[in-house]
Amino acid sequence: MKNCSLKGRPGLKTAVLAAVLGLLAASAGATTLADIYAAAERINQQAKESQAKVDELNSETRDLYQDYKIVLAEIENLRIYNRQLERQVATQEAQISEITENMGKVSDIQRDVVPLMDRMVIALEQLIDNDMPFHMTERRDRLEHLRDVLDNPDVAVSEQFAAVLNAYQIENDFGRSMTAYTDEIEVGGTHRVVEVLQVGRVALMYQTTDAEETGFYNKQERRWVELDDSFQAAVRTGLRMAKKQAGQNLLPVPILVEG
């Protein structure tokens, strides 16, 4: 075998060295570009991730800002509501103060009203006793009930006074009413069941169920008195009018004229 020494061949040595350097340079250049591309890709990916985080933060910031504005509006509404409540509380405190002051006067009013009601009931009893005797059972029962109300400590004074006024109103209405009802009366010492016609406080008349006897209550003599037959038809008509069985019309009644 021949010895392949490069001695004495300077041109060949130069060519081989150049080829090796070229290969090394090519290898070094390829490694650097790959690293650069990889680094660029990593940078782009990081930039995308950073932009996504920025977008997410922007969205959260907008949401927080909207929540902040809502909270500010609620706070303002609460301030308005609190001011309104303060005015209402001030008004209620003034009313409580007025009520408290008035309550101090209630006892004074009650001291005046209670004896007044007693006097009114006594006057009402005297009125019924001295009046014409119409609806006497009803009127006396109402008077007795009124006394029970005034004696009941569980009934407020205001309700007691309202009951007294109501009794007076009913008695007052009798003066403008015309009623018919069945009752037992005494005529000439004899008790009989009759139909009674009450015409306000102007006249109080009766008629037997067979219409054979007609009479009236004599206020001066305070007794029932029989009338002649001239009032028979008028009283019969008046009874029908009071029962809503006939239309309203003029009605002759016996009236005593003091001489």
The CA distance from 194 to 197, in Å, is: 10
Q: Convert the pLDDT of each residue in 149-202 to its tens digit.
A: 999 999 998 899 999 999 999 999 999 999 999 999 999 899 999 999 999 998
**Residue 184 confidence (pLDDT):** 94
pLDDT tens string 84-135:
888 888 898 888 888 777 666 666 677 788 899 999 999 999 999 999 999 9
* pLDDT at position 5: 46
